[in-house]
Amino acid sequence: MISAASGVVTPYTVPGWLMDALQATVLVLVAAAATGVVLIRQRVRQVVALSVYGLLLAVLFLVFQAPDVSLSELSVGAVALPILLLLALAKVRERDR
Amino acid sequence: MQAFPFVVVAWILAVGLYGIVTSRHLVHQIICLIVVQSSTYVLLLAVGYRRGAVAPYFSDIPAHTPAVDPVVQALSLTDVVVEAAVTALLLAIAVQAHKRFGTLDPHELVEFKG
Amino acid sequence: MTPGQRRWVFLVAIAALAAFYLWGLAGLPGFGNYPGPYGTIIDHNAAAQTHATGVVSAVNFEYRGFDTLGEEFILFIAAIGVSTILRHLRGERERPAREEALDRDDAMAADAIRMTALLFVGPAVVMGWYLASHAQTSPAGGFQGGVVLATAVMLIYLAGQFLTFRRISPVDLTDAIEATAAGGYVAVGVAALVMGLPYLSNFLPLGGTPGAVGSSGTIVVISLFVGVEVAAAFVLIVSEMLEQTLLVPEGN
């Protein structure tokens, strides 16, 4: 998405105030998701919350005009990190059995 | 809107630190460390943003369009991937600690005897 | 120190940190008013100098290539660290993989999930390879491509094919691939030294059209090496963690 203030006109241009509103909304969602990740106490639910947080961060980076960082955060934060955490939790849980 | 992203960065940092300080489980601490690290990415990208600018990829737009700062994006990009590997290292330490001491509570793991 | 006292100390420390943070924030130019000359100069000149239209990748692999070499080696050493820490301790033996695979099969998910995971392996490999080899044209690069390639291999494990996952990613082979790719990045820099240029200069032909697939010299080569190395490092880390679940203490 490109904001109209830069003078470039493409099929994806949006007005400036719309971009501001979008950024503010996603920032609020990210702050709420971060609070959720810290406050949830059951382990597996916390890992799922971390995955949702990674997805929201990827959307935030996209809205900040950084598609490369968004790609990285999506594949790392929503896939690779939860897999590693779940494997470690499985190992730790199995000994408690 | 002038200072709102930085306020959100401070909030995420404070919430993550609160989670680390009041935690009773090593894996929960590691997850809160991930949250703290992610606040720095948001800070870097917010510093480099220019209002009304486009992403710095010039394959289909004219060559001198105002674009956001590419240097902070390059820094954040490598940082995200490297963070995952360092988190894996911390998880490996946690798994071995559980094997040795049988518990993952940081209050009980205080004594390390060699 | 009781948890209550700990919480009070934390609140005092966070208040002090917030005070310093606000003091520093007052000196910033505000969100959206990026003033700095460095970013503007790179935006204007990168496409003409390096014939790469993806300016972020040009910064990563060309202007700040030495820094990226350091980051890649952090990843390399973290993978070595995981392998070292998760070694077999005295008093542990490994269950045969077939027993473990049968155990996992019982608790596996629905057939639809396994089918979908298997179907996505092919597109994920293609996507990862595209990202790793097109660093100079569009939002792509070695790091993203490497992680997507590693995800493709992990999907095989998630589809319930535990034995296949172990067979296609033996630890020795993954180690060798990772080391070769990391050494390849260093070798590109040394090749520039051999030609009498400074370390990591861009000595390959830059190509005609900015942003074409074969353009921008060493950026493509470095990006491919980084992609392979990152993929191998992540597959190594996941297989080490998986092997841990095979270990049982002696006497069980």
pLDDT computed for residue C251 by the predictor = 46
User: How far apart are the C-alpha atoms of C133 and C122, rounded to whole Å?
Assistant: 17
Residue predicted with more confidence, B59 or A2: B59
Bridge partners of C32?
B50
pLDDT computed for residue A94 by the predictor = 66
- A75, C144: Cβ pair inside 8 Å? yes
Contact residues, chain C, for A71 at CB < 8 Å: 131, 139-140, 144
Q: What percent of chain C has pLDDT over 70?
A: 85
Three-state secondary structure of C211-226 = CCCCCCCHHHHHHHHH
Contact residues, chain B, for A24 at CB < 8 Å: 1, 4
pLDDT at A37 over 90: yes
Looking at every residue in chain C, the average pLDDT score rounds to: 82
User: How far apart are the C-alpha atoms of C141 and C151, rounded to whole Å?
Assistant: 16
Chain segment B46-82, per-residue pLDDT in tens: 988 888 788 888 887 777 888 889 999 999 999 999 9
Centre a 10 Å sphere on the Cβ of residue C65 and count the other Cβ atoms it contains.
21
Kindly indicate the confidence band of residue A10, based on its pLDDT and cuts at 50, 70 and 90: low
Contact residues, chain C, for A77 at CB < 8 Å: none
Across A31-35, B50-54, B99-103, the highest mean pLDDT is recorded for A31-35
Kindly indicate the confidence band of residue A57, based on its pLDDT and cuts at 50, 70 and 90: very high
The class (CATH top level) of B4-101 is mainly alpha
By C-alpha distance, which of A61, A78, B80, B41 is closest to C143? B80
Domain that holds residue A44: 2-96
The subunits that touch chain C, with at least 3 C-beta pairs less than 8 Å apart, are A, B
pLDDT computed for residue C252 by the predictor = 43
Bridge partners of C248?
C93
Q: For the whole prediction, is pTM greater than 0.80?
A: yes
pLDDT computed for residue C248 by the predictor = 65
| Domain boundaries of chain B, sorted by first residue | 4-101
Kindly indicate the confidence band of residue B109, based on its pLDDT and cuts at 50, 70 and 90: confident
**CA of C137 to nearest chain B CA: how many angstroms apart?**
7
Under 8 Å CB pairs connecting chains A and B tally to 137
**How many structural domains compose chain A?**
1
Least confident range from A3-7, A75-79, A85-89, C154-158: namely A3-7
How would you class C215 by CB atoms within 10 Å of its CB: exposed for 0-12, middle for 13-18, buried for 19 or more? buried
Centre a 10 Å sphere on the Cβ of residue C5 and count the other Cβ atoms it contains.
9
Q: In this complex, which of A67, A75, A90 lies closest to C148 when CB atoms are compared?
A: A75
pLDDT at A97 over 50: no
pLDDT at C246 over 50: yes
The torsion angles phi and psi of B73, rounded to 5 degrees, stand at -70, -40
**Chain A contact for C165 (CB, 8 A cutoff):** no
Looking at every residue in chain B, the average pLDDT score rounds to: 87
HSE (CB half, 13 Å, CA atoms) of B91? 31
| Domain boundaries of chain C, sorted by first residue | 36-249
Mean pLDDT of C37-60: 85
**CA of C144 to nearest chain A CA: how many angstroms apart?**
5
Kindly indicate the confidence band of residue C146, based on its pLDDT and cuts at 50, 70 and 90: very high
DSSP string, C168-189: HS-HHHHHHHHHHHHHHHHHHH
**Chain C contact for A96 (CB, 8 A cutoff):** no
Q: In this complex, which of B5, B8, B54 lies closest to A6 when CB atoms are compared?
A: B54
Mean pLDDT of B22-42: 92
Residue predicted with more confidence, B41 or C167: B41
- Report, in angstroms and rounded to the nearest whole number, the Rg of chain A calculated over CA atoms: 18
ipTM of model = 0.90
How would you class C200 by CB atoms within 10 Å of its CB: exposed for 0-12, middle for 13-18, buried for 19 or more? buried
